[in-house]
Structure 1
Amino acid sequence: MPTSDDHQTIRNLLNETRRYPPPQEFSTRANVDGSWWDRAAADPVAFWAEQAARLDWQEPWHTDHRWEPTLPTETGEWSIPRAQWFAGGTLNVAVNCVDRHVAAGNGDKIAFHFEGEPGDRRSLSYSDLLREVSRAANALTALGVGQGDRVVVYLPVIVETVVVTLAIARIGAIHSLVFGGFSAEALRLRIEDTGAKLLVTSDGQYRRGAAVPVKATADAAVVGVDSIEHVLVVRRTGDETPDIPWTPGRDVWWHDTVDAAADVHQPQFFDAETPLFIMYTSGTTGTPKGLVHTSGGYLVHASWTHWAVFDAKDTDVYWCTADLAWVTAHSYVLYGPLSNGVTSVLYEGTPNTPHRGRHFEIIQRYGVTTYYTAPTLVRTFMTWFPSRVPSEYDLGSIRLLGSVGEAINPEAWVWFHENIGGSRAPIVDTWWQSETGAAVMAPLPGVSTLKPGSALRALPGMRTLVVDDHGVEVPRGSGGYLVIDGTYPGMARTVWGNPDRYRDSYWARFAKQGFYFSGDGAKYDNDGDIWLLGRVDDVINVSGHRLSTIEIESALLEHPAVGEAAAVGVSDPITGQAIAAFVIPANEAQLTSGIEFAEELRTHVVRVIGAIARPRDILMVPELPKTRSGKIMRRLLVDIASGRPLGDTTALQDDAVPGLIAAIMASADQGSASNAHHG
């Protein structure tokens, strides 16, 4: 019989022993050394105040930090937690990202090398960017947008997206960026929830080699929405998407308004707690939560972590591949790199358009030094290039790699290190969330001995713990729930329009301890370093043993014939739950592999982990349902395997994938039934 402890902790299954110490040459030039942890731990608030001084403030703050935890009230309810950082200080986020670099004499430095999916290219200096942002700020003001107004941005990864986002911040309005592939329904939800005054969109966008109309989708999203006064439209695809619907008096062209505006704008300065943006989560159940991030604390956190974790240098050419609507891009395409005056790459398209080496081609063209991407793309590269990256691409400029979005499997980590990093570039495996604003756990690349698959420990100024159901820290070698102990500048302050949901979602579970609950499972290794085990909702309970999806998937990925895998729990009359694995073979020809190959994979998992982790079901699929940020939506796989209606699919990169998997599963079930009948 399982003990109560089996229900309170997540089993530690894998033991990764490979280690990668920092290269000496990297360490000697690193921005941060090992002393930063002890210094920050001695006084975290003073540490963050020191990092805040890296920015330009119009008026200094009078109070470093205030925190009101959630506490029981006289009515028996719990209070709403409230945080403030740098109260009384005023600044302008856009000035910190653009103007101050121009004022310092660095106006000629390139801010962005832009590459469109069709192959169009443009490089903008910081001076160019200042003029563009100033024009957009003047145009927004002329359209009636002011401090506190909400603007929803529904654009692809193009220069105008960067420009308008910075312009919104510059005038003290609040932006909410929405993925350009989202449906009208998903866009409408965000417009209505924010009460947006302005929608910024495009005539069309390039997607997987084709020009796709967008304006009609945007129009459908704003029908009957009283708060919308104007729709500002960027001309991106032009004659390739003719017959653009138009509403006179409401719709305005970017080139008629922004391009015609004055290129000088006098900025105002805003209190540190002024809302900067609303970032919507993309959960599989329930209405997405609009997380509110503020100007001062968020920028301090994003700026310092970019400088420290990515070891930002003046000579870097930095590329974070995230879509601009994702929080990773807010922090590590826009506000972090720009506040540090770095040159970045901006790419509009997909990694295999028009060929699978497009990213490598871009790295070579611009001499990219830092490449930050999602594990799902690394695993995709592994299936495209199982031996090595083609020799025609020179990736020798790479000095640092980064991983974000979900835990990276050890085999994918090693492939990334050897093939993209030339076995020399450290990998900063970052853990954080939309809710945290910027990185919370990550190696420091000049200090940390790297462990493939682990984000190691919290960064200086923060503290993470792995605890059981009662909020008690688990022993080394054990698994449980990942929590954050204490507050930090970049944390979301509330859920837009619903502070009770903010409290209940993140602070209620461990209110007595004052912990923020991340929703993730994690484990300590024997050194006390932390390994992510996936979302707690995705933990599989087999005969009372709580197993991590990440570790099962990592075991499958160790098999050379597996390119990518997702494991989920499905109902089982004997064990309560059983493991179902959805596998993308490394070779497309293996999609039709039969019973023998599935049994080979089961045997492999048993050998790597143990009999408790043996998958009951294994299905070969050509693709997995993934969000725009590259996360596998395992809950949709559970829905498919269980024959239930699908949860929210608006965040998917490709909404056709669940139907494809369901058809494959139905065909497999029919085959099994036929075999049983004839047997």
Structure 2
Amino acid sequence: MDNDEIVWRPSELYLKRSRLRRFIETLGLADIEALQRRAASDPNWYWDAVVRDLGLVWTRRYDRVLDTSSGPAWAEWFPSAGFNYVTSAVDQHALGARRAPPALIWEGDDGAKAALTYHELAAEVNKVANALRALDIGPGDRVGIFLPMLLETAIATLACGKIGAIFVPLFSGFGAEAVASRLRDCDARLLITADGFYRRGAIVDLKGIADRALLDVPSVERCLVVRRVGAEVPWNVERDRWWHEAIAGEAATADTADTAANDPYMILYTSGTTGRPKGAVHVQAGFPIKAAHDLSYCFDLHPEDRLFWLTDLGWMMGPWAIAGGLLLGASILLFEGTPDFPEPDRLWRLVETHQVSVLGLAPTAIRSLMVHGSSWVRKHNLSSLVVLGSTGETWNPGPWRWYFDEIGGGRCPVINYSGGTETGGGIVGCTTIQPQKPCAFSGAVPGMDADVVDEAGASIRGGVGELIVRQPWVGMTRGFWRDPERYIETYWSRFTGVWVHGDWAEIDDDGFWFIRGRSDDTLKVAGKRVGPAEVESAAVGHPAVREAAAIGVPHPVKGESIAVFAILKPGQESTEALAEAVRQEIGRQLGAAFRPETVRFVRELPKTRNAKIMRRLIRAAYVGLPMGDLTALENPGAVAEIEALRPV
């Protein structure tokens, strides 16, 4: 398969099924290109049409769609409207035709299973909403949610939304300081956690981590504890309360807070790949609508579909799948465990057992699973799959092809999707009505006025430039929590009135888009620029290499040279000859100018808990720079290994 050839085209089945195609036809437009042109020229028209198409429930209709009187960075959508997303995501389905189908399906690491219909979910959300009010939690209060993917996790997010509280997702793998720093930053009043959870067959002492965190967070007054594993845990009688006891006796009906469209509903902290975590503020009529929009028009999610994204609540895709999937009336699968435990086919067994139709994975997950071979995949019937999704990291061709061929059978499109915590969803993506190339994006996500520009802000094609967005969109953050200056500096300071995302991107001659890495990770060798993703993809092109990360290191002549840290495939031996072969392979693919100065083999790469490579930390460890914020780091041992390789 040529990496530059079109490998998938939509069949009549996908065209007939497509929500996006129906939307375009309803608007009287010819094709997606016409839709994008109209949306860019008139975002008011576009987003009004979207919310009507999604069938959202408003308590007060908006008289304006968009207000940019404070500037595009502080755009307000539907400024006069009353909107509580839980009414649209849960209540309307519980009272209608979606009453009986499952809203949430859950499987634990230990194989335990449970599910809630939309009617049952509404009752549970109402009970928890009443319990939160009994704890004196109300509109605007911040509630930390430090849980793995349980039914209670989704219920907690919805109960907070229903009463107008602001929930703060926390990675279930965080240590005490990472939890504490985020709770302190937002002055949380309540923490919801569990007595523990199962991971790879062992119990994780979540309550112990929470207790240590709360020693340093005076604002937290109460702690609700879900009983997941039945472990004996330390107990603060003045602060702690069991979840099941708090909701016992609470009514299955509850009033919904009269929230405004722009009331905050979530503070989502970044994973920290570029320094101190930032609390992105998202609002009731923002993030949930963007999630539903993208799931509808990119991933073609229908009410009869079952959506499973391998994620944690602390990564954007957790709240995104829950809010967006439920707004569309679909069934959402939550999974507590890991994709290769107790056997390498655990993930494929999940897909078959629960008849998943829309599956989302990070490229890192595919890289780790494909080393087990395709025989584990072929033990299972994956015919329920209709759409494959991917986000979190850039692809390289081998894993993309394996996902496309082995998991999707060459029949399912791979919806490549890239945005971020602050964007509330995708900037660039694919759709099920457009052709696909390996590793590529079809273009900007519908409604996103995105472009690739040079250093002067002029559009470029056929070369690498900055990914930007020229118009505000529904779902963009309302700024960083109590840090407006940092928000403006991060995204709006480069070009007037333009969002600069911080990614290098490229649009090829056929109109396909590619992400080439973070622009702050860019490598500049003797005046020539290259993205780390290109170097890493070339490294993985060597048959011995499983995964790689590229950084720039100071060089007395070139200014900067390239160092590559690579993980070998099982059975490969680390030798100087192999390192030289990988170095030469990169030079062969990219040119001699970008041949790395050094290639070092390591057991693992430093990653965040949502599997993003922390190149900033690799460079700091290898060059000897300050480490900065480490709270998102999943595997500290990887940093120590790289520090040991530092040149004397």
* TM superposition score normalised by structure 1: 0.90
Q: Could you tell me which residue of structure 1 aligns to residue 291 of structure 2? A: 302
Q: Could you tell me which residue of structure 1 aligns to residue 345 of structure 2? A: 357
Letter in 2 for 1:408: W
1:44 and 2:43 aligned: yes
Instruction: Measure, in 2, the Cα distance between the counterparts of 1:15 and 1:611.
Output: 22
Question: What does residue range 339-350 of structure 1 map to in structure 2 within 5 Å?
Answer: 339-350=327-338
Q: Residues 403 and 429 of structure 1 are in contact (CA less than 8 Å); yes or no, is this contact kept in structure 2?
A: yes
Instruction: Measure, in 2, the Cα distance between the counterparts of 1:384 and 1:535.
Output: 30
1:214 is displaced (CA, Å) by 1.9
Letter in 1 for 2:314: A
Match of 1:154 among 146, 149, 152: 146
Q: Tell me, what secondary structure is at the counterpart of 1:604?
A: helix
Question: What does residue range 196-235 of structure 1 map to in structure 2 within 5 Å?
Answer: 196-223=188-215, 225-235=217-227
Q: Could you tell me which residue of structure 1 aligns to residue 438 of structure 2? A: 452
Instruction: Measure, in 2, the Cα distance between the counterparts of 1:621 and 1:224.
Output: 36
Q: Could you tell me which residue of structure 2 aligns to residue 641 of structure 1? A: 622
Q: Could you tell me which residue of structure 1 aligns to residue 494 of structure 2? A: 509
Match of 2:534 among 538, 551, 566: 551
Q: Could you tell me which residue of structure 2 aligns to residue 675 of structure 1? A: none
1:92 is displaced (CA, Å) by 1.6
Question: What does residue range 448-487 of structure 1 map to in structure 2 within 5 Å?
Answer: 448-474=434-460, 476-487=461-472
Q: Could you tell me which residue of structure 1 aligns to residue 263 of structure 2? A: 274
Q: Residues 492 and 498 of structure 2 are in contact (CA less than 8 Å); yes or no, is this contact kept in structure 1?
A: yes
1:497 and 2:489 aligned: no
Match of 1:428 among 401, 408, 415: 415
1:638 is displaced (CA, Å) by 0.9
Instruction: Measure, in 2, the Cα distance between the counterparts of 1:193 and 1:214.
Output: 21
Q: Tell me, what secondary structure is at the counterpart of 1:271?
A: coil
Q: Residues 377 and 407 of structure 2 are in contact (CA less than 8 Å); yes or no, is this contact kept in structure 1?
A: no
1:18 is displaced (CA, Å) by 4.6
Q: Tell me, what secondary structure is at the counterpart of 1:105?
A: coil
Instruction: Measure, in 2, the Cα distance between the counterparts of 1:451 and 1:390.
Output: 23
Instruction: Measure, in 1, the Cα distance between the counterparts of 2:408 and 2:242.
Output: 43
Instruction: Measure, in 2, the Cα distance between the counterparts of 1:152 and 1:454.
Output: 36
Instruction: Measure, in 2, the Cα distance between the counterparts of 1:585 and 1:393.
Output: 28
Letter in 1 for 2:59: Q
Q: Residues 112 and 344 of structure 1 are in contact (CA less than 8 Å); yes or no, is this contact kept in structure 2?
A: yes
Deviates more, 1:121-130 or 1:61-70: 61-70
Q: Could you tell me which residue of structure 2 aligns to residue 602 of structure 1? A: 583
Instruction: Measure, in 1, the Cα distance between the counterparts of 2:532 and 2:560.
Output: 13
Q: Could you tell me which residue of structure 1 aligns to residue 424 of structure 2? A: 437
Instruction: Measure, in 2, the Cα distance between the counterparts of 1:444 and 1:127.
Output: 32
Instruction: Measure, in 1, the Cα distance between the counterparts of 2:288 and 2:211.
Output: 33
Per-residue deviation, residues 491-525 of structure 1 (Å, max 9, x unmatched): 001111111111111101112xx110101111221
Instruction: Measure, in 1, the Cα distance between the counterparts of 2:276 and 2:586.
Output: 36
Q: Residues 3 and 437 of structure 2 are in contact (CA less than 8 Å); yes or no, is this contact kept in structure 1?
A: no
Q: Residues 190 and 221 of structure 2 are in contact (CA less than 8 Å); yes or no, is this contact kept in structure 1?
A: yes
1:562 is displaced (CA, Å) by 1.8
Instruction: Measure, in 2, the Cα distance between the counterparts of 1:269 and 1:439.
Output: 29
1:657 is displaced (CA, Å) by 2.4
Q: Residues 51 and 300 of structure 1 are in contact (CA less than 8 Å); yes or no, is this contact kept in structure 2?
A: no
Q: Tell me, what secondary structure is at the counterpart of 1:354?
A: coil
Q: Which has the higher contact order (CA 8 A, sep 6+)?
A: 1
Q: Could you tell me which residue of structure 2 aligns to residue 57 of structure 1? A: 58
Instruction: Measure, in 2, the Cα distance between the counterparts of 1:456 and 1:549.
Output: 22
Instruction: Measure, in 2, the Cα distance between the counterparts of 1:347 and 1:380.
Output: 18
1:438 is displaced (CA, Å) by 1.5
Q: Could you tell me which residue of structure 2 aligns to residue 381 of structure 1? A: 369
Q: Structure 2: any 5+ residue segments left out of the alignment? A: 22-29
1:22 is displaced (CA, Å) by 2.0
Alpha carbons of 1:607 and 1:15: their partners in 2 closer, same or farther (altered >3 Å)? farther
Q: Tell me, what secondary structure is at the counterpart of 1:415?
A: helix
In percent, how many aligned pairs have the same letter?
A: 37
Letter in 2 for 1:503: I
1:139 and 2:131 aligned: yes
Q: Residues 553 and 567 of structure 1 are in contact (CA less than 8 Å); yes or no, is this contact kept in structure 2?
A: yes
What is the aligned residue count? 634
1:199 is displaced (CA, Å) by 0.8
Q: Could you tell me which residue of structure 2 aligns to residue 616 of structure 1? A: 597
1:26 and 2:22 aligned: no
Q: Residues 407 and 454 of structure 1 are in contact (CA less than 8 Å); yes or no, is this contact kept in structure 2?
A: no
1:262 and 2:251 aligned: yes
1:484 is displaced (CA, Å) by 0.7
Match of 2:82 among 66, 77, 90: 90
Alpha carbons of 1:326 and 1:224: their partners in 2 closer, same or farther (altered >3 Å)? closer
Q: Residues 143 and 189 of structure 2 are in contact (CA less than 8 Å); yes or no, is this contact kept in structure 1?
A: yes
Instruction: Measure, in 1, the Cα distance between the counterparts of 2:112 and 2:128.
Output: 22
Instruction: Measure, in 1, the Cα distance between the counterparts of 2:469 and 2:202.
Output: 44
Instruction: Measure, in 2, the Cα distance between the counterparts of 1:285 and 1:481.
Output: 17
1:60 is displaced (CA, Å) by 0.5
Q: Tell me, what secondary structure is at the counterpart of 1:63?
A: coil
Deviates more, 1:257-266 or 1:491-500: 257-266
Match of 1:129 among 95, 105, 121: 121
Per-residue deviation, residues 247-266 of structure 1 (Å, max 9, x unmatched): 11211111110244222212
1:164 and 2:117 aligned: no
* TM superposition score normalised by structure 2: 0.94
1:37 is displaced (CA, Å) by 4.0
1:117 and 2:117 aligned: no
1:458 is displaced (CA, Å) by 1.0
Instruction: Measure, in 2, the Cα distance between the counterparts of 1:179 and 1:404.
Output: 18
1:574 is displaced (CA, Å) by 2.4
Q: Could you tell me which residue of structure 1 aligns to residue 279 of structure 2? A: 290
1:388 is displaced (CA, Å) by 5.3
Q: Could you tell me which residue of structure 2 aligns to residue 371 of structure 1? A: 359
1:585 and 2:577 aligned: no
Per-residue deviation, residues 373-412 of structure 1 (Å, max 9, x unmatched): 1011111122222x55442122222111011112222222
Q: Could you tell me which residue of structure 2 aligns to residue 576 of structure 1? A: 559
Q: Tell me, what secondary structure is at the counterpart of 1:338?
A: helix
Q: Could you tell me which residue of structure 1 aligns to residue 24 of structure 2? A: none
Match of 2:176 among 184, 191, 204: 184
Q: Could you tell me which residue of structure 1 aligns to residue 550 of structure 2? A: 567
Q: Could you tell me which residue of structure 2 aligns to residue 539 of structure 1? A: 522
Per-residue deviation, residues 119-178 of structure 1 (Å, max 9, x unmatched): 111111111111111110000000000111111111111111111110000001111111
Q: Structure 1: any 5+ residue segments left out of the alignment? A: 1-13, 71-79, 671-679
Per-residue deviation, residues 246-293 of structure 1 (Å, max 9, x unmatched): 111211111110244222212233110011100111224543111111
